[in-house]
């Protein structure tokens, strides 16, 4: 929506503003913003994803074995100890996401009322310290507590960065930047495999296991980068000191023609309610829920899945690199095409089906080589679909506070998909029929490891099909609403009403 009440259509804005956007001064301004924002924010997210998923590499190096405390040999205590050992890794993952989803929306509300230049590096500094502490834990209780704290400290980065992008870039410019940023997740998987292989050689140094050194060294790297980030991460666009006065004016002017990003919107709880009562906002959230289940189960269990194909632990660490590298290339190439065509929905659906084919190949291929090809397809589809859908609320939700909440809500509801598990009856052995499913991380549990995790893979396929349904719903609803508003184009709407209504204004058009 434009600040002057003119109709805000992604396609029409592109036509109307083609000359100014192509002007050399505009291109130079966008490049300057890109060089300031994208490298540091992508690096922070790479570190975030690395510090949350390196537990998968640590598991292969004996994390759960070293932290398991044996119980007395009595029948009941012995059984409970075995049950705990079997589930402790999955429980640690679930606790991380429980605290993560609780703090995402509050973190973005704080960001809206605070300053990203201080808030985002501080989050990075704190979770880096917590990551180091993971390498110092002595037992399961310590692991559970520190994983919960890690989730709380990492919660604000991703939704915060997506929101910061929305106040520096025009709507059509955001998806490509978000995809580069999200590519840090795939690169973290590739980088993490190589790092874990090298750090694992430090087993026994200083009396610590190789898995402990993974947490400590990678956490120290995060702390060092966070201190540098205080000098690089920018503040809000209207106060950006890395831009000249003329550049800030030009930035705000180009944003004014395309979105609400140039306005200084006062925080009101009414805008928060708008986000929570908008069906489309919940649609974006449920879409990420479907993809997040598969994203986190794949990223956290990829070393285990590959080891399950018959490879040794050290081979599995290194074999995580190619699928993640392919995923990063898939993200960047696909999103570049979608940005040129100004289309999201069909590509999200296509990415889901590529991932589904990958899982089917993993389940059915008769050889380890064929199954490994399936892993590549699954990674490419899952990461690409996530990169596409995560930019949607930033493009389609107008009103700064509403958008901040919508982005955080999408990540919150999505990451609930990463928490999937069981409430077992203590007197019975764990199996899917004696368990009450809550909602990825606990689905890939030892009791379901048979046939190369066939049942968890089938659940992942189900979640991807759910994501296809939600994408189709959003596609239909937004297309229908755009057509309805086209029919009302002759109706006038006061400027102040357009501003307050945001994306509900008849002058606003959704990017499909």
Average pLDDT over residues 165-189: 84
Q: Residues 283-309: pLDDT tens digits?
A: 999 999 999 889 878 876 777 778 877
Span 436-479, pLDDT tens digits: 233 455 566 666 656 667 888 898 999 999 999 999 999 999 99
What's residue 153's pLDDT? 95
Among 2-16, 166-180, 188-202, whose mean pLDDT is lowest?
A: 2-16
- Which range, of 42-51, 90-99, 463-472, averages the lowest pLDDT? 90-99
The answer to whether 55 and 93 are in contact (CB under 8 A) is: yes
Residues 268-289, mean pLDDT to the nearest whole number: 91
Residue tagged 């509403």 (tokens): 402
- What's the pLDDT score for residue 245? 92
Q: What is the pLDDT of residue 38?
A: 94
pLDDT-derived band of residue 433, with 50, 70 and 90 as boundaries?
very low
May I ask the CATH architecture of the domain 17-504? Up-down Bundle (1.20)
Mean of pLDDT values over 70-88: 46
R_g of the chain computed on alpha carbons: 23
CB-neighbour burial class of residue 117 (10 A; exposed 0-12, middle 13-18, buried 19+)? buried
What is the average per-residue pLDDT within 378-390? 94
Give Dmax over CA atoms of the chain in angstroms: 80
What CA–CA distance (Å, rounded) separates 37 from 58? 32
Rounded to whole angstroms, how far apart are CA atoms 365 and 500?
55
pLDDT at 418: 65
Beta bridge pairs of residue 53: none
Residue (of 510, 462, 32, 496) closest to 244 by Cα position = 32
Q: Where are the domains of the chain?
A: 17-504
At residue 489, the pLDDT reads 66
Find, among 21, 364, 37, 3, the residue nearest to 181 by Cα.
37
Task: Using the predicted structure, report yes or no on whether residue 376 has a pLDDT greater than 90.
Answer: yes
Q: 176-190, 317-331, 425-439 — which one is most confidently predicted on average?
A: 317-331
* Nearest Cα residue to 502 out of 283, 263, 168, 282: 263
pLDDT, position 430: 33
Which of the two residues, 394 and 386, has the higher pLDDT score? 386
pTM: 0.75
Instruction: Confirm if 117 and 234 have CB atoms less than 8 A apart.
Output: yes
- Mean pLDDT on 75-90: 51
Distances (CA, A) of 268 to 1, 263, 271, 317: 19, 14, 6, 48
- Token pair listed for 177: 């930047």
Q: Which residues pair with 8 in a beta bridge?
A: 508
Find residue 508's DSSP bridge partners. Answer: 8
List pLDDT tens digits, range 211-259: 999 999 999 999 999 999 999 999 988 889 999 999 999 998 888 776 6
**pLDDT at position 282 over 90:** yes
pLDDT score of 380 more than 90: yes
Within 155-278, residue ranges assigned H as helices are 157-166, 171-199, 210-229, 245-256, 269-276
Q: How confident is the model at residue 310 (pLDDT cuts 50, 70, 90)?
A: confident
Q: Please check whether residue 89 is in contact with residue 63, taking contact to mean a CB–CB distance below 8 angstroms.
A: yes
| pLDDT band, very low/low/confident/very high, at 3 (cuts 50, 70, 90) | very low
pLDDT exceeds cutoff 50 at 6: no
The 8 Å CB, 24+ separation contacts for 494-500 are 494/5, 495/3, 495/4, 495/5, 498/1, 498/2, 498/5, 499/1, 499/3, 499/5, 499/260, 499/263
Sign of dihedral through CA atoms 385, 391, 395, 401?
Answer: positive
Residue 322: closest CA among 469, 196, 186: 186
Local confidence band at 20 (pLDDT 50, 70, 90 cut-offs): very low
């Amino acid at each position: 929506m434009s600040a002057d009440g003119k109709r805000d259509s992604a396609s029409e804005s592109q036509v109307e503003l083609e000359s100014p956007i192509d002007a050399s001064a505009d291109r130079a301004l966008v490049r300057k913003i890109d060089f300031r924002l994208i490298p540091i924010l992508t690096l922070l997210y790479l570190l975030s994803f690395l510090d949350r998923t390196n537990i998968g590499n640590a598991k292969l190096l004996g994390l759960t074995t070293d932290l398991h405390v044996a119980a007395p040999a009595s029948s009941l205590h012995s059984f409970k100890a075995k049950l705990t050992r079997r589930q402790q890794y999955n429980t640690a993952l679930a606790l991380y996401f429980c605290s993560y989803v609780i703090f995402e929306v509050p973190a973005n509300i704080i960001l809206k009322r605070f300053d990203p230049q201080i808030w985002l590096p501080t989050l990075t500094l704190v979770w880096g310290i917590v990551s180091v502490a993971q390498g110092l834990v002595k037992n399961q209780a310590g692991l559970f507590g520190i994983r919960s704290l890690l989730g709380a400290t990492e919660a604000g980065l991703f939704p915060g960065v997506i929101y910061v992008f929305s106040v520096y870039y025009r709507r059509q410019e955001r998806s490509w930047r978000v995809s580069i940023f999200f590519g840090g997740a795939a690169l973290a998987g590739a980088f993490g495999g190589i790092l874990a292989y090298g750090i694992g050689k430090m087993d026994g140094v200083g009396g610590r296991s190789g898995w402990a050194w993974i947490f400590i060294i990678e956490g120290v790297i995060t702390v060092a980068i966070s201190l540098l980030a205080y000098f690089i991460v920018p503040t809000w666009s209207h106060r950006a000191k890395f831009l000249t006065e003329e550049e800030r004016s030009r930035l705000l002017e180009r944003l004014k023609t395309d979105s609400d990003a140039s306005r200084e919107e006062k925080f009101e709880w009414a805008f928060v309610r708008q986000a929570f009562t908008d069906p489309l906002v919940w649609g974006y959230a449920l879409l990420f829920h479907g993809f997040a289940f598969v994203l986190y189960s794949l990223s956290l269990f990829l070393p285990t899945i590959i080891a399950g194909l018959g490879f040794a632990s050290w081979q599995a660490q290194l074999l995580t690199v190619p699928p993640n590298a392919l995923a990063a290339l898939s993200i960047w190439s696909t999103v570049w095409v979608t940005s040129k065509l100004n289309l999201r929905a069909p590509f999200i659906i296509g990415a889901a089906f590529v991932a589904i084919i990958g899982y089917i190949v993993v389940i059915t291929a008769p050889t380890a080589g064929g199954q490994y090809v399936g892993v590549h397809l699954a990674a490419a589809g899952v990461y690409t679909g996530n990169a596409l859908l995560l930019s949607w609320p930033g493009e389609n939700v107008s009103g700064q506070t509403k958008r901040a909440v919508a982005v955080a809500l999408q990540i919150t509801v999505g990451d609930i998909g990463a928490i999937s598990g069981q409430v077992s009856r203590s007197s019975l052995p764990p199996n899917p029929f004696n368990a009450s499913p809550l909602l990825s991380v606990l689905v890939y549990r030892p009791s379901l490891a048979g046939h190369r995790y066939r049942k968890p893979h089938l659940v992942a396929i189900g979640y991807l099909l759910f994501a296809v349904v939600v994408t189709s719903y959003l596609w239909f609803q937004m297309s229908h609403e755009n057509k309805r508003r086209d029919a009302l184009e002759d109706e006038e709407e006061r400027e102040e009403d357009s501003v307050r209504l945001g994306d509900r204004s008849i002058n606003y058009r959704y990017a499909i």
